[in-house]
């Protein structure tokens, strides 16, 4: 009866974890064989018969009959007199099969056996979860906020699987409460120990690409292709799209009438500003489109060094660079070219980076963030204005202006 009671308790796992019969039998046999190895030194001569559906378990030990006094291995051999106690007509050289009761393994072994089974079941369960989510990498997934930590939000899906949304994978404006449903892309799945770690991201460009697939039927159907996505999460994104069908306007289809189609995506991303542009193999045209909303006068491309010099009217420069330098940075990422902006009529001007020996790099970057990337563009502003628009101290601004003035006085 003790065999049946133990198997009954094992069968609970089959119901709780939805493990198929064949897998459960394999796990059970593995657990019992480990117990037999510890008890007898080897499990090679044991037959294990398991039927978890009926609660049947039988363990049989097979030994060879040898003459009395000649037993060398008690696990694999049995003396003639001991064999004849089981069956009087046994003879030397014959095989004896004897059932082993679980109680023979000892109570401590039985407790260890159950603990080992629990461990194996969890290991199997975790492996299945890992495989399931590994196949979902790069796909959008929805889960519910379970609790909020300082550096991550812990989500649970409908099956109770834990998904981690780290702080650096969130959009800066994200704010969650317990019970909220959160959408993101499954970015990575790893096994740490025996437990799968599932990482979700809302900051990944892939999340935006997959939102286009979900929200725009032509993208989902393959009529419109998303060629590339670059983004500064929560701030700005650029999406290059095209279509093999000339009858379809890919930008118009993605944006929709008065932005109706893209509005849901923008809202999902915390009002991230999304520029949708037509992709083209014409590099000059692609860079021009990438710098939208600025209007480009001319472009000079250095393919070997992956650089592009873009000439703009003065009033277009700030549009090309964008707030915080976001527009020009994303245009560069989208096209794969480092873009240098030049002003029309500024042939005698000098780029700020030319002064890197005298002006620290971070100071130059502060000016570039507000669209000032040449000496004359900085000198056009007074000191108080430059202090308001940057985080620079008065002394620093004065120092920069003195250096720039010297250049033109020479």
CATH of 204-271, one of 3.30.300.20, 3.30.450.20, 1.25.40.340, 3.40.50.2000: 3.30.300.20
CATH number of 280-345: 3.30.300.20
pTM of the shown model: 0.64
Q: How confident is the model at residue 13 (pLDDT cuts 50, 70, 90)?
A: low
Burial 269-283 (b: 16+ CB within 10 A, else e): bbebbbbbbbbeeee
Task: Give me the pLDDT at residue 1, please.
Answer: 38
Per-residue pLDDT tens over the stretch 190-213: 988 778 899 999 999 999 999 999
Nearest-10 crossing angle of helices 107-134, 2-17: 20
**Whether pLDDT at 9 is above 60:** no
401 or 193, which is more confident? 401
The domain over range 138-203 is classified in CATH as 2.40.50.140: yes
**Whether pLDDT at 125 is above 50:** yes
Q: How far is CA 408 from CA 142, 295, 368, in A?
A: 59, 29, 20
- Decide if 140 contacts 207 (C-beta within 8 A): yes
Q: How confident is the model at residue 53 (pLDDT cuts 50, 70, 90)?
A: low
124 or 88, which is more confident? 88
CATH class of 2-131: alpha beta
Nearest-10 crossing angle of helices 314-321, 326-335: 70
Alpha-carbon gap, residue 154 to 381, rounded angstroms: 49
Residue 295: other Cβ atoms inside 10 A: 13
Residue 149: other Cβ atoms inside 10 A: 10
List the one residue out of 385, 379, 380 whose CA is nearest residue 400. Answer: 379
Task: Give me the pLDDT at residue 287, please.
Answer: 95
List the one residue out of 220, 218, 200 whose CA is nearest residue 210. Answer: 220
Q: How confident is the model at residue 4 (pLDDT cuts 50, 70, 90)?
A: very low
Task: Give me the pLDDT at residue 6, please.
Answer: 54
Task: Give me the pLDDT at residue 50, please.
Answer: 73
Residue 53: other Cβ atoms inside 10 A: 12
Max mean pLDDT among 103-117, 272-286, 316-330, 382-396 falls in 272-286
**Whether pLDDT at 300 is above 70:** yes
Task: Give me the pLDDT at residue 259, please.
Answer: 87
List the one residue out of 174, 382, 387 whose CA is nearest residue 272. Answer: 174
Q: Where are the domains of the chain?
A: 2-131, 138-203, 204-271, 280-345, 351-410
Q: What is the mean pLDDT of the chain?
A: 85
List the one residue out of 322, 323, 297 whose CA is nearest residue 310. Answer: 297
261 or 9, which is more confident? 261
Tokens 């609790």 label which residue? 147
Task: Give me the pLDDT at residue 106, please.
Answer: 66
Task: Give me the pLDDT at residue 229, please.
Answer: 97
Q: Calculate mean pLDDT across residues 312-320.
A: 84
Q: What is the CA radius of gyration of the chain?
A: 36
Same fold, 2-131 and 204-271: no
Q: Calculate mean pLDDT across residues 71-93.
A: 86
Q: Is 244 exposed, middle or buried (0-12, 13-18, 19+ CB in 10 A)?
A: exposed
The token pair that represents 138 in the structure block = 């790069």
**Whether pLDDT at 298 is above 70:** yes
Q: Point out which residues pair with 340 in neighbouring strands.
A: 309
Residue 139: other Cβ atoms inside 10 A: 12
């Amino acid at each position: 009866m003790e065999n049946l009671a133990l198997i009954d308790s094992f069968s609970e796992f089959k119901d709780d974890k939805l493990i198929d019969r064949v897998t459960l039998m394999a796990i059970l046999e593995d657990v019992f064989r480990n117990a037999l190895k510890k008890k007898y030194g080897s499990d090679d001569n044991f037959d294990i018969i398991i039927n978890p559906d009926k609660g049947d378990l039988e363990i049989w030990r097979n030994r060879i009959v040898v003459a009395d006094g000649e037993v060398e291995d008690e696990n694999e051999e049995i003396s003639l007199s001991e064999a004849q106690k089981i069956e009087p007509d046994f003879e030397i050289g014959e095989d004896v099969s004897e059932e082993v009761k679980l109680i023979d393994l000892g109570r401590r072994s039985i407790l260890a056996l159950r603990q080992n089974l629990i461990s194996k079941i969890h290991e199997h369960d975790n492996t299945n979860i890992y495989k399931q989510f590994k196949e979902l990498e790069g796909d959008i997934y929805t889960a519910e906020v379970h609790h909020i930590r300082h550096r991550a939000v812990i989500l649970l899906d409908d099956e109770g699987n834990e998904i981690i949304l780290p702080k650096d994978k969130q959009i800066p404006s994200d704010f969650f409460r317990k019970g909220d449903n959160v959408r993101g892309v499954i970015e990575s799945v790893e096994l740490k120990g025996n437990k799968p770690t599932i990482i979700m991201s809302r900051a990944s460009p892939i999340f935006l690409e997959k939102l286009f697939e979900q929200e725009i039927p032509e993208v989902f159907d393959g009529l419109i292709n998303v060629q590339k996505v670059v983004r500064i999460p929560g701030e700005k994104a650029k999406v290059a799209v095209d279509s093999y069908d000339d009858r379809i306007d890919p930008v118009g289809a993605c944006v929709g009438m008065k932005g109706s189609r893209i509005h849901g995506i923008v809202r999902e991303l915390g009002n991230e500003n999304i520029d949708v542009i037509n992709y083209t193999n014409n590099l000059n045209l692609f860079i021009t489109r990438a710098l939208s909303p600025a209007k480009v006068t001319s472009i000079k491309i250095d393919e070997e060094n992956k650089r592009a010099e873009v000439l703009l009217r003065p009033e277009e420069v700030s549009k090309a660079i964008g707030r915080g330098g976001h527009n020009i940075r994303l245009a560069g990422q989208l096209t794969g070219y480092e873009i240098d902006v030049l002003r029309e009529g500024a042939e005698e001007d000098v780029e700020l980076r030319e002064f890197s020996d005298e002006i620290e790099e971070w100071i130059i970057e502060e000016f570039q963030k507000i669209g000032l990337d040449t000496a004359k563009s900085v000198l056009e502003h007074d000191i108080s204005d430059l202090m308001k628009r940057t985080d620079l101290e008065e002394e620093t601004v004065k120092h920069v202006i003195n250096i720039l003035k010297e250049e033109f006085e020479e």
